[in-house]
Amino acid sequence: MSKKVLVLAEAREGALRNVSYEAIAAGKQISNGGEVVSVLLGDSVQGLTAELGKYGADRVITVEHPHLKQYTSDGYGQALLAVIEQENPQAIVFGHTALGKDISPKIASKLQIGLVSDVTAIEGEGDAAVYIRPIYSGKAFEKVKVKDGIEFVTIRPNNIAPFAKDDSKSADVSSLSVDITNLRTIIKEVVRKSSEGVDLSEAKVVIAGGRGVKSEEGFAPLKELADVLGGAVGASRGACDADYCDYSLQIGQTGKVVTPDLYIAAGISGAIQHLAGMSNSKIIVAINKDPEANIFKVADYGIVGDLFEVIPMLTEEFKQLKVNA
């Protein structure tokens, strides 16, 4: 049976996040030939709808309201429930982002349905869809099926490949007007710490530093390498605890979970709690002066050496590669 699938598009600072396109691809697979409807919420989002069509959405529904300028669970909850009521989808896909994590349980609870969170892969199509998600901080995986009712999943950014952009495609755009009232939370201020450069949880390349980086200034060469590769800088808790960098960069069990194509760990010992946040990365490179460091056990490639020598050399080498390409 084919399904109508509702997928949430997420914008950040005026641009769509990649996970919006990944959700469309996931939705297509679950739909089994059915329609994928992308939902976009905000105070002014018309400028973003065309992109969603190019990435494969069949239709786009926008809800615009001044109260949707900033995310609140009440505001987004009311808007999304109104869209769900109008569209009656058989499946729903959100990103497993801060926003998706916060809003999806509310919707699931309201509709009294199951929710499969943090899905990293989907097997099968339509009614046969099975969802794969990490458990025990990525130390194991489970395959989960929705028994009955709406199939509601959140997908981990960077794991399900979006379709290639096709400029010839477009989606029908319609808007729904929803009365958003009674917000119980008022956002006073958002202090941006992570807005510089590439978003850590969506980055294809992450250069992470640990206590071995030794100081705040020690992160500069890592940043330089990240810039050359179009990646983001991350850190171990060791580095955060030592005040070399902000906690917003922490990767691991109590920090962010990242699954980039390339993860370079520099001066990180590889504690189990750190591995919980990055061990599912596609390729892991370890740079550590201790050949016994645990990080080498999960690394695909390792260099035993001083990161302050190795990182700048890598930066130069990658620059060369780019020039030659």
Partner 1 sequence: MNIYVLVKRTFDTEEKIVVSGGKIQEDGAEFIINPYDEYAIEEAIQVRDAQGGEVTVLTLGGEDAEKQLRTALAMGADKAVLINIEDDVEELDQFTAAQIISEYLKDKNADLILAGNVAIDGGSGQVGPRVAELLGINYVTTITNLEIDGTSVSIKRDVEGDTEVLETSLPLLVTAQQGLNEPRYPSLPGIMKAKKKPLEEVELDDLDIDEDDVEAKTETLEIYLPPKKEAGKVLEGELADQVKELVQLLHSEAKVV
DSSP letter (8 states) at residue 238: H
6 binding partner (options partner 1, ligand FAD, none; Cβ < 5 to 8 Å by kind): none
- Choose between 181 and 184: whose C-beta lies nearer to partner 1: 184
User: What does the chain come to in residues?
Assistant: 325
- Whether 236 has a binding-site annotation, put simply, is yes
- Choose between 106 and 214: whose C-beta lies nearer to partner 1: 106
Binding mask 231-250 for partner 1 (x = CB under 8 A): ---------------xxxxx
Task: Give the integer Cα–Cα distance in Å for 281 and 102.
Answer: 24
- Whether 251 has a binding-site annotation, put simply, is yes
Contacts of 65 (CB under 8 A, 6+ apart): 43, 75, 79, 177, 178, 180
What is the smallest separation between the CB atom of 109 and partner 1, expressed in angstroms?
4
What is the smallest separation between the CB atom of 307 and partner 1, expressed in angstroms?
12
Q: Which of 65, 101, 169, 223 binds partner 1 (CB under 8 A)?
A: 101
Number of Cβ within 10 Å of residue 135's Cβ equals 11
- Whether 303 has a binding-site annotation, put simply, is no
Task: Give the integer Cα–Cα distance in Å for 187 and 172.
Answer: 33
Binding mask 57-96 for partner 1 (x = CB under 8 A): ----------------xx----------------------
- Choose between 74 and 118: whose C-beta lies nearer to ligand FAD: 118
Q: How far is CA 160 from each of CA 31, 33, 106, 304, rounded to the nearest angstrom?
A: 15, 18, 24, 33
Q: Interface with partner 1 includes 227 (CB under 8 A)? A: no
Residues 37/7, Cβ–Cβ less than 8 Å: yes
Token pair for residue 320?
């060369």
Beta partners for residue 62, in sequence order? 40, 175
Task: Give the integer Cα–Cα distance in Å for 176 and 137.
Answer: 39
Beta partners for residue 136, in sequence order? none
Q: Interface with partner 1 includes 115 (CB under 8 A)? A: yes
What is the smallest separation between the CB atom of 295 and ligand FAD, expressed in angstroms?
7
Token pair for residue 287?
């740079």
CA-nearest of 168, 169, 245 to 208 is: 245
Task: Give the integer Cα–Cα distance in Å for 154 and 117.
Answer: 5
Number of Cβ within 10 Å of residue 182's Cβ equals 9
What is the smallest separation between the CB atom of 297 and partner 1, expressed in angstroms?
8
Task: Give the integer Cα–Cα distance in Å for 108 and 120.
Answer: 19
Q: Interface with partner 1 includes 128 (CB under 8 A)? A: no
42 binding partner (options partner 1, ligand FAD, none; Cβ < 5 to 8 Å by kind): none
User: Phi-psi region for residue 212, left (φ > 0), alpha (ψ -120 to 50) or beta?
Assistant: alpha
110: Cα within 13 Å, side-chain hemisphere: 14
Q: Interface with partner 1 includes 314 (CB under 8 A)? A: yes
Single out the segment in contact with partner 1 by CB under 8 A; choices: 19-27, 45-53, 129-137, 167-175: 129-137
Token pair for residue 199?
């978003």
**Looking only at residues 252 through 291 of this chain, which bind partner 1 when binding is defined by CB under 8 A?**
253-256, 261-262, 272-273, 276, 279-280, 282-286, 291
What is the smallest separation between the CB atom of 152 and partner 1, expressed in angstroms?
9
- Whether 271 has a binding-site annotation, put simply, is yes
- Choose between 259 and 288: whose C-beta lies nearer to ligand FAD: 288
Single out the segment in contact with partner 1 by CB under 8 A; choices: 20-28, 47-55, 58-66, 195-203: 195-203
Extract the annotated binding site for FAD: 211, 236-237, 250-254, 267-274, 288
Extract the annotated binding site: 211, 236-237, 250-254, 267-274, 288
